[in-house]
Amino acid sequence: MARPRTPTNVLELRGAYKKNPQRKRDDEPDVAAGIGPAPDYFTPEQAGAWNVITSQCHAGVLCHADGIAVEIAAVLLANFRANPIEMPAAKLARLDSLLARFGMTPSDRSKVAGAKKEEPANPFAKLIKKKGAA
């Protein structure tokens, strides 16, 4: 089976376009709108699973178009939480696969880069610069 195409926003978060900006695709939906709230017909447990998935996912990965996939993952997560022993292996594998696509497993999380953390300012940096300039 062919490897699934990596979404542009995930590639951008990884920093793939820093070296080759011409490779960026402009034909994908905009993710600025976000995923939105859980569907109204969800049970409280399913809505809670939706909120966990959408809040723990990296910013900029999910958009409105991902709603159905997140819906399936939320239902599966709610079922797993209700009775983890009775969860069929196929459903558990599907949940794991969906979470991986959202960058929510350790190996897949390493493929998505978040915003760089600013290093704290070194109070002695000015002194070193002044000494070297003299």
Helices (H) and strands (E) in the chain, counts: 6, 0
CA 113 to chain CA centroid, Å, is: 9
pLDDT tens-digit series, residues 67-93: 899 999 999 999 999 999 999 999 999
pLDDT tens-digit series, residues 39-75: 999 999 999 999 999 988 887 788 888 889 999 999 9
How far is Cα 125 from Cα 123, in angstroms, rounded to an integer?
6
For the chain, where are the alpha helices, taking DSSP H only? Answer: 8-14, 44-56, 67-82, 89-101, 106-109, 125-133
How far is Cα 35 from Cα 69, in angstroms, rounded to an integer?
11
